[in-house]
Amino acid sequence: MPILASLPGLNLLSSLPSNPPQNDTTSSTPPPSPPIPIPKYPPPRSRNPKTNVPRSNPALSIPHRRSNYRKPVQKGVISTDGDRCVIVGENGVSYKLPGAPFEFQYSYSETPSAEPIAIREPAYLPFAPPTMPRPWTGKAPLKKSKKNIPLFDSFNPPPPGKKGVKHVEKPGPFPFGKYPKEGKTREEILGEPLKKWEIKMLVKPLLSYNRQVNLGRDGLTHNMLDLIHSHWKRRRVCKIKCKGVPTVDMDNVCRHIEEKTGGKIIHRVGGVVYLFRGRNYNYRTRPQYPVMLWKPATPVYPKLIQEAPEGLTKAEADEFRKKGKSLLPICTLAKNGVYASLVKDVRDAFEECPLVKIDCKGLQPSDYKKIGAKLKELVPCVLLSFDDEQILMWRGRDWKSMYGDTSSTLVPVKADISSGIDNSAKSSDDSGTPDAQRVVSSPKMISLWRRAIESNKALLLEELALGPDALLEKVEEFEGMSLAIEHSCEALVLSSEDGSSSSSSAEFKGGSYSEDENDIYSSDDIIDDEDYDDDSFAEVNPSIPLGSLPVDKIAERLRRESK
């Protein structure tokens, strides 16, 4: 630093010059190039290009599901594309393809019985266009593999212990000496009916098996058909687990599963169904269905809730809805539960009350509305409200009890033992009718009463104005008659030792035995002669010693008492 300070013309504290000197281009060298070149990016694309590329299939440009598109439709064909068409019929919106075994639908088991009145999207087929060279999977086609992967089916299973091959069950089971046959119809593919031990052998390994087809709120959908066949490729039995709305009517679900797949349900527990593919099933010759690429929008159906339902005026319906707010629900439906006993519970509840309410807290509105529509057809009943996530139903004017006629019975208001016959007669003469009130009993209880009256186990007293003594006399008389009918039997004729027939006649009093003979005879000792014929007695072995049979003991006891 001292050396720098001693140099002439150098001031360390001087400020920078206001105008820096210009660089001499002739004497200065060019700046070096940067070590990393600056990348050149393409210009950004415009988000809204002026030219729109037309799509191959107009169905891919369908409007959004939340759009206000609504087109009224009538029964018949609403759209055609050559041999492919969209049809509105009894089963709702269905799709017809050339060569198909039946009309395709999105859901086969959960289609309402009412015909749709409008559609929410243009009528396009939800399948791949016929011009597509391969089935649409949403991905680019894979390159051809260099390996030769052998294909196996149920008629040509791979050898045991082969690496890289999944488990394939052999066809069958077959009875001894029989082999698989190529079948085309459903009966030929199923073969002979399975026996009990065969069903147990097929179902037992699948009880704890977690590979299954889950059937949810949409029921049996179209794409499940191909999924079930993919399960049948490895196993003879496909396990299907049903939950939610379809379990209200499991018979309907099972019927559609058997019709559309061609299999046979061999076991069913609650919402779990075991579907057998058939003895002669072959995966290579299975029916192949096109896969739906998207879920079609649900059509518009008539409203389930009306202001004045059938058989009611608007004032009566409002009164029922008002009473239904304070009504306790008969059950609470859990989300994704099994509702197989719901129809029976509603029918039993209608025996006691004309209004029934079901709590559906936590369920989606579409779910409990579908449940209400099913109950309306199966119970049947009249839907009143879906308010507060609850289903309110009325049993209707044409309702009939399951236990027959629900006639009302007369029951006395008060039984005064000290009143006697005179007081009861006086009260009946003053009022003109006996002092009684009308009580409507349970239909089930009335059916039990009627059964007891028909079997002479009970007595219906229509004269309710009887005093205690007269009532007691009636009851004692009926008790004697019932005992006579219960313990009466034909007289037994016993043969004596000398060959002459002597009859031990029993003393009948009004068709009944005396008290001593009631102790001897029981209902187990009475033998009906019509059950035996002369040939049966001729076949008895004569070598049996006398007195060893139970009949001989009874005869000996009667002979002793008659002396």
290-342 confidence digits (pLDDT tens): 999 889 988 999 999 998 888 788 999 999 999 999 999 999 999 999 999 99
Average pLDDT of span 73-86: 89
Q: How far is CA 431 from CA 151, 182, 223, 424, 435, in A?
A: 94, 86, 75, 11, 8
Residue 527 lies in a domain: no
Q: Which of 46-60, 160-174, 242-256, 427-441 has the lowest mean pLDDT?
A: 427-441
Cα separation of 92 and 89, whole Å?
5
Polymer length in residues for the chain:
563
Closest CA to 392 of 355, 367, 353, 352: 355
Which residue, 354, 371, 394, sits at the end of a domain?
394
Q: Identify the three-state secondary structure at position 293.
A: coil
**How many degrees, rounded to 5, is the angle at CA 57 between CA 52 and CA 59?**
105
Cα separation of 277 and 213, whole Å?
14
pTM of the model: 0.62
17-72 confidence digits (pLDDT tens): 555 555 555 556 677 766 677 777 777 766 665 555 445 555 555 555 567 788 89
Pair type for strands 213-215 and 118-119: unpaired
Residue 381 lies in a domain: yes
pLDDT band at 121 (very low <50, low <70, confident <90, very high): confident
**How many degrees, rounded to 5, is the angle at CA 526 between CA 523 and CA 532?**
140
DSSP structural state of residue 552: H
Which residue would you say has higher pLDDT here, 339 or 407? 339
pLDDT band at 258 (very low <50, low <70, confident <90, very high): very high
Q: Same structural domain for residues 193 and 270?
A: yes
Residue 562 lies in a domain: no
Q: Same structural domain for residues 255 and 337?
A: no
Q: Does residue 385 surpass a pLDDT of 80?
A: yes
Average model confidence (pLDDT) across the chain: 75
Please give the order of strands across the beta sheet that includes 382-385: 355-359, 390-394, 382-385
Q: Same structural domain for residues 263 and 321?
A: no
DSSP structural state of residue 294: S
Closest CA to 329 of 356, 293, 289: 356
Residue 539 lies in a domain: no
User: Which domain CATH number covers 194?
Assistant: 3.30.110.60
522-561 confidence digits (pLDDT tens): 344 434 444 444 444 444 444 556 666 777 777 787 778 7
Please name the residue that has the structure tokens 């006996």. 434
What type of residue is 490?
E
- Report yes or no: 403 and 446 within 8 Å, Cβ to Cβ: yes
What residues have CB less than 8 Å from 202, skipping those under 6 apart? 173, 194, 236, 237, 266, 274, 276
Q: How far is CA 469 from CA 141, 421, 422, 473, 503, in A?
A: 98, 8, 11, 6, 42
What type of residue is 308?
A
The string of DSSP letters for 185-224 reads SHHHHH-SPPPHHHHHHHHGGGTT----EEE-TT-SBTHH
Which residue, 372, 394, 416, sits at the end of a domain?
394
What residues have CB less than 8 Å from 19, skipping those under 6 apart? none
- Report yes or no: 386 and 378 within 8 Å, Cβ to Cβ: no
Residue 210 lies in a domain: yes
Pair type for strands 92-96 and 84-89: antiparallel
Cα separation of 180 and 165, whole Å?
23
pLDDT at 536: 40
What range defines the domain where residue 240 resides? 186-276
What residues have CB less than 8 Å from 142, skipping those under 6 apart? none
- Report yes or no: 336 and 364 within 8 Å, Cβ to Cβ: no
pLDDT band at 13 (very low <50, low <70, confident <90, very high): very low
Cα separation of 373 and 380, whole Å?
10
DSSP structural state of residue 383: E
What residues have CB less than 8 Å from 477, skipping those under 6 apart? none
pLDDT at 446: 74
Residue 233 lies in a domain: yes
Q: Which of 126-135, 345-354, 491-500 has the lowest mean pLDDT?
A: 491-500
What residues have CB less than 8 Å from 216, skipping those under 6 apart? 243, 244, 246, 336
Q: Same structural domain for residues 321 and 257?
A: no
pLDDT at 160: 74
Q: What percent of the chain has pLDDT over 70?
A: 64
The number of domains in the chain is: 3
Q: Same structural domain for residues 193 and 271?
A: yes
Residue 125 lies in a domain: no
Pair type for strands 436-439 and 409-412: antiparallel
Which residue, 370, 394, 418, sits at the end of a domain?
394
pLDDT at 543: 52
Residue 417 lies in a domain: no
157-175 confidence digits (pLDDT tens): 777 777 777 777 777 888 7
pLDDT at 95: 94
Cα separation of 477 and 115, whole Å?
64
Q: Same structural domain for residues 264 and 345?
A: no
pLDDT band at 521 (very low <50, low <70, confident <90, very high): very low
pLDDT at 311: 78
pLDDT at 461: 59
Q: Same structural domain for residues 200 and 256?
A: yes
Helical H segments across 400-497, by residue range: 420-431, 443-454, 468-487
Cα separation of 122 and 78, whole Å?
10
